[in-house]
Chains A and B, each alone.
Chain A
Amino acid sequence: MKIIACIKQVPDSEAKIKAENGQISWGDAPLVINPFDEYAVEGALQQKEATNGTVTALCIGPETAKEALKHALAMGADAAILVSDPALNDLDTLGAAKILAAAIQKIGAEMVVFGRQTLDNGAGVTSAQTARLLGYPMLGLAGSIKVNEGSVTVERVLEEGKQIVNAKLPAVISVVQSIGEPRYPSFMGIRKASKAEIPVWSLGDLGISAPEQTIKRTALATPPARETAAEIITGETPEEIAEKLADKIIAEKVL
């Protein structure tokens, strides 16, 4: 089975993100594969093993995003493709979905695996938008995936419980953490990835023009900093501490 994993490159979660002159900066923090998309690669690799298939990692981003694709290759993906074009600097989610859908059609796949959401934008909608554009069923928030002769069954992890859903392939699946810890790149994998030539596709290669942007950022704001020191409640006994703490909380009028 041919599988595609869609991954994005984002600043590391530990990065100090700041707004500077209307621009976002993360200092010299490293750019990494979106942590949610590591689960997507993991889920895709599990299916590769289960079906004797192949995994292609797909990313829209600048030239530097090749590093995120190399991470996917080192984990065990067979191929990687970067879609990069100066016209794609300000993509919104539907724009990204249009590009991904075009690239997915060009590559060809029975299963397309997404992460739950991006760390930077955090919309969690690109997968469903891509599915809708392709006309594929959307199986969101899968904690496990099982393929069976042209159809796929996933266990969706929802607030209210788990739901078992079945659909015909090709399908779009987004995965959550329950899919399993992303495997560490092997030594061989890292060697292979470091030598890999990653093809770069432009909009011209996909035969489409830059999507129109309907959501535009007009300003950035930094949330107010949280206080830095807790008031530590002390006392002779747990009961005394508990009494004081309960009074403090009640006085905050949050109950």
Chain B
Amino acid sequence: MKTLVYIDHFKGAVQPSSWEALGVAKKFGAAIAVAFGENASEIAKSAFEHGADEIYIADDAALKDYLPEQYASTLSALATTLNPSLILFPTTARTRELAAMCAVDLNSNVMTDLTGLEANGDSFTATRPIYESKLFEEINGTGKPVIATLRGRAFPKPNAEAGKTGTMHKVALAGEVKSTVEGYSASESAVNLADAGVIVSGGRGVSNNPALTPPAGLDEKGAELWRAQQGFALVTELAKVLGGAIGASRAAVDSGYIPYSHQVGQTGKVVAPDLYIANGISGAIQHLVGVRNAKIIVAINKDADAPIFKVARYGVVGDLFQILPALTAAFKKKLGK
């Protein structure tokens, strides 16, 4: 059986869950990687090391920016030629669009955000969360090809085999240009919550340290933001020591403490880290639906009755401004950093 695996990347930085998708493809048979973009050829080496048997590359200056219509047309054309049984994507904002469009082009459909996938004769049986992970459904995809996006960290990451190579093919860009990228502003910190093994998060509580005196001349909102910066600095310190990403509650985002891209929860990101440390987050249901798949949740909160303690494995009832620096120091010492 033949599977196409779309390697998602942003300006050359590959989404690690792309390798997980390659691992799943290998389980079923031949894995053919596909990567588009300026300098996509540089991705080939890693793709081979992670198990790709072949790779199709569209490496073209015109593909500098991700353009959904052209990427989708190029991928659909390739699928029509190669006739795979399955097309796999890691789940990202980009791939939801691409998979959706290819499903239309190929007259199939797409199963998104899978946490399980098994071959079943001519069809595939998949598992995916629904209703904000309150339930899981098992679905049977019978399209030709079956198209699926895989949830990050739900499948094992194949070990890279240094020096492994394969055949590289070039493909031409297809499809019509429907939009143009006019600009791009990088966020202050790249946020890759979906792939993070550790996430340290902050909520409204990160601004609540009356002991801190903000610089003179700030109005009330300015002082609150200044306090929040001090709080998020502590969150960031711990995240650094643990090699983790920084998350936030919606209250923190709405109050302007940190950009929206950090938000975890119903209207933010659904994450699945091994360790999630919630600081000054009460644990509203809309936040919790985003962390249901975390292996271990740790909560630091002043309020012993905060609902976050109902889902946490470990909790500290206390002031995050005291606990966080001590915890960072303890990890530094114990992890030898």
Q: Which of A159, A247, A255 counts the most chain B CB atoms within 10 A?
A: A159
Residue from B180, B194, B316 within 8 A of A233 (CB atoms): B316
Interface residues in A153-171 by Cβ distance below 8 A to B read 153, 157-168
18 A-B pairs with C-beta separation under 8 A = A13-B285, A120-B130, A125-B100, A131-B101, A143-B260, A159-B92, A160-B11, A177-B263, A215-B140, A220-B138, A221-B136, A230-B315, A231-B315, A232-B304, A238-B318, A242-B323, A246-B334, A250-B335
**Contact A164 B260, beta carbon cutoff 8 Å:** no
Interface residues in B314-333 by Cβ distance below 8 A to A read 314-318, 322-323, 325-327, 329-331
A139 to B263 alpha-carbon distance, docked (Å) = 21
The dominant DSSP class at the A interface is: mixed
A116 to B217 alpha-carbon distance, docked (Å) = 40
**Contact B334 A13, beta carbon cutoff 8 Å:** no
**Contact B104 A160, beta carbon cutoff 8 Å:** no
Distance in angstroms from B279 CB to nearest chain A CB is 12
A227 to B180 alpha-carbon distance, docked (Å) = 49
Closest to B185 in A: A162
Question: A165-B181, A220-B138, A230-B314 are known contacts. Are A93 and B109 too (CB-CB below 8 A)?
Answer: yes
Distance in angstroms from B186 CB to nearest chain A CB is 4
**How many residues does chain B have at the interface if contact means C-beta atoms less than 8 Å apart?**
95
Contact indicator per residue, chain B 1-38, by CB within 8 Å of chain A (1) or not (0): 00000000011000000000000000000000000000
Interface residues in B72-105 by Cβ distance below 8 A to A read 72, 92-94, 96-97, 99-101, 103-105
Q: Which residues of A contact B141 (CB under 8 A)?
A: 214-215
Contact indicator per residue, chain A 189-228, by CB within 8 Å of chain B (1) or not (0): 0000000000000000000000000111111111100111
**Contact A17 B104, beta carbon cutoff 8 Å:** no
A93 to B101 alpha-carbon distance, docked (Å) = 12
**Contact A178 B260, beta carbon cutoff 8 Å:** yes
Q: Is the C-beta of A87 less than 8 angstroms from some C-beta in chain B?
A: no
Contact indicator per residue, chain A 234-245, by CB within 8 Å of chain B (1) or not (0): 100111011101
Distance in angstroms from A165 CB to nearest chain B CB is 5
A241 to B125 alpha-carbon distance, docked (Å) = 46
Binding site for B on A (CB under 8 A): 11, 13-14, 16-19, 24, 35-36, 92-94, 97, 116, 119-129, 131-133, 136-141, 143, 153, 157-168, 176-178, 214-223, 226-234, 237-239, 241-243, 245-250, 252, 254-255
**Contact B295 A232, beta carbon cutoff 8 Å:** no
Distance in angstroms from B197 CB to nearest chain A CB is 8
A158 to B94 alpha-carbon distance, docked (Å) = 9
For the complex of A and B, the 9 pairs showing the least CB-CB separation, nearest first, are A242-B326, A128-B100, A230-B315, A125-B100, A137-B178, A254-B274, A167-B179, A164-B183, A219-B138
